[in-house]
Copies of this chain bind each other. A is one copy, B any other.
Amino acid sequence: MIIYRVNMGDLSVKKEEVPQEWQYLGGRAFTSAVVAKEVDPACNPMGAKNKLVFAPGLLSGTNAPNSGRMSVGAKSPLTGTIKESNVGGSASQKLGKMNIKGIIIEGQPAEDKYYNLHVDKDGIKIQEETELLGKGNYEVIDTLSKKHGDKIGVMTIGQAGEFRMAAANISVKDYHGNIRSAGRGGLGAVMASKKIKYITVDDTGAPGVPIANPEPFKAAALRLGKALKEHPVTGQGLPTYGTNVLVNILNEAGGLPTKNFRMGRFEGAHKISGEAMYEKIIDRKGKPTHNCHAGCVISCSQVYHDESGQFVTAGFEYETIWGFGAVCLIDDLDIIAQADRICDDIGIDTIETAVAVSTAMEGGVIEFGDGKGMLNLLNEIKKGTPLGRIIGNGAGFTGKAYGVTRVAVVKNQAIPAYDPRAVKGVGVTYATTTMGADHTAGYAVATNILKVGGFVSPLEKEGNIDLSRNLQIATAALDSTGLCLFVAFSILDNPDAFQAIVDLVNAQCNLNMTGDDLNEMGKNVLRTERGYNIAAGFTAKDDQLPEFFSEDFPPHNKTWDFTTEELQEVWNF
């Protein structure tokens, strides 16, 4: 395996061997190790000292099921913390097949010019880019697919990135030509600060990932695939309704944050639910089942059409639908789909942006429930108007612009689609994760609500610190393998699924790890990330939710009652 180091200061590319200490790190373990070692924790995230790191997971590019996720890392301009943003699409597998451990992009061009990078088996070329500047992601991907062929991998920023907005994401083309997003933490702005509009990845002639012990690898891959197919969540719920199966579940549980986190049930929930969406998709000849990367056996994605049967968006996730739906009090799925499409096209995180819109509603910019007003706000982002720049810099920023105190952020990153008062385990994750509020960093919803891996009451404190800690550790390990987070459902209920993952890594790398060793890798990732944040000036005071979560939250009328001291127990490992 090799590392490419791209210096945008002098427009040079170096090919490096992987140092021994990083030999068995992939994905998040690799990006966080590089950022922690090489990026000054005190630096300005938009300056020359920050680095942007792309790393396929350890298993990416192999035939292991659901192993095509990539990690993108940097110091985040949104949170000021270390950041790993995780994404599907085809680039991760292509990089893995070319035996690229990671691409480290550093420095900043002196001139105000944009560039593109082209990665293939011969190396990385840096070329000046003018044609696609100012263009949205759909046009970028279409143009590059015409130029390089449909199979080309693309990682790109839209207008939000070019405007260096703190909610800008990095969009990754999937093999259908649709858009997947490394959504959180503003890494699109970091890519813009390096003056890179897009990266194309062509794995023609790539050698493929070397597997030390192919037969045990194949056997373990089959076991993991079987476990995924057999689990009710990954075998039935997600394939049928996508992640949006959660609207009805969270609404029923009273944990669907509605009207800027005022209550846990939304009157219009049934109109935006996974079940309602499924019917619309079938009616309009969309695709109810679709995947974000080759080799995925879950296929939680879908293709959503409008009333006239035209494509609107793909990968229409629960968190997006909740965000532009319940939290903004909008119950029109077609408007929400338009919002998702605009966000994909301009390259901006839907969670951050939806909560920013709900914060703007709180500040009186538009009314709650005003779907057209919401689409107008998103178009302001696209145009880079002052109002667009306010919304595009996220929920915390929008709150400050309008003097709003009800702003749902932790470490300035928007709180996602599960209210921490009614799903306390994920609340612990929001408060303590190294990433700023992020449900994927320790998805306690699984055990609190879906009763996967046992049951810990979502409404009481008891057990939720331990639950979040264990999930944060396991997630950090999973994010390093390139496996999709959804394999966690199987792991939690089926010990052999976890063993299959350990066996996969062992077979690929010729190692003899135990499950405990893999867990230890997760712990090391968290320790590295937390050490970085502490060096950047973060303290226990930052590991807490905003003040307004001390309000009663209907229908259960629970409050957020973990003290800052209690939350620090997450770090006892």
Chain A contact residues, CB within 8 Å of chain B:
41-44, 46-47, 49, 77, 163-166, 189, 192-193, 385-387, 389-390, 393, 397, 400-403, 405, 535-542, 544, 546-547, 564
Contact = CB atoms under 8 A, between A and B. Distances in A.
Given A42-B564, A397-B400, A535-B541, 10 more contacts: A42-B547, A43-B547, A44-B546, A46-B403, A166-B400, A193-B403, A390-B401, A393-B400, A397-B397, A537-B538
Contact of A403 (B192, B539, B547): B192
Contact of A541 (B42, B166, B400): B42
Nearest to A403: B164
Nearest to A168: B403
A90 to B, nearest CB: 29
A536 B547 contact: no
The 5 A-B residue pairs with the shortest CB-CB distance, nearest first, are A164-B403, A537-B541, A386-B387, A386-B386, A389-B401
Contacts of A547: 42-44, 47, 49
The secondary structure that dominates the A interface is loop
B165 A403 contact: yes
A385 B402 CA distance: 10
A540 B534 CA distance: 11
Contact of A544 (B42, B390, B400): B42
A207 B163 CA distance: 61
B403 A386 contact: no
A387 B397 CA distance: 13
Contact of A163 (B189, B403, B538): B403
A111 to B, nearest CB: 16
Contacts of A541: 41-42, 535-537
Copies of this chain: 2
A192 B564 CA distance: 29
30 contacts: A42-B541, A42-B544, A42-B547, A42-B564, A43-B547, A44-B405, A46-B403, A47-B405, A49-B547, A77-B400, A163-B403, A164-B402, A164-B403, A166-B400, A189-B403, A192-B403, A193-B403, A386-B389, A386-B390, A386-B401, A389-B390, A389-B401, A389-B402, A390-B401, A393-B400, A397-B397, A397-B400, A397-B401, A537-B539, A537-B541
A546 B535 CA distance: 16
A372 to B, nearest CB: 18
A77 B401 CA distance: 12
A49 B546 CA distance: 13
Give the interface centre of A189, A400, A539, A546 by most chain B CB atoms within 10 Å. Answer: A400
A165 B390 CA distance: 14
Contacts of A189: 403
Nearest to A163: B403
A393 B403 CA distance: 10
A385 B41 CA distance: 35
Contacts of A540: 537
A167 to B, nearest CB: 11
A188 to B, nearest CB: 11
A406 to B, nearest CB: 9
Nearest to A49: B547
Give the interface centre of A43, A164, A385, A386 by most chain B CB atoms within 10 Å. Answer: A386
Contacts of A387: 386
Contacts of A564: 42
A402 B397 CA distance: 12
Nearest to A402: B389
Nearest to A43: B547
Contacts of A544: 42
Nearest to A534: B539
A436 to B, nearest CB: 14
A193 B405 CA distance: 10
Contacts of A386: 385-387, 389-390, 401
Contacts of A44: 405, 546-547
A163 B363 CA distance: 10
Nearest to A189: B403
A44 B47 CA distance: 29
A278 to B, nearest CB: 39
A383 to B, nearest CB: 12
B537 A542 contact: yes
A164 B399 CA distance: 11
A546 to B, nearest CB: 7
A192 B164 CA distance: 32
Nearest to A360: B386
Nearest to A365: B386
A178 to B, nearest CB: 28
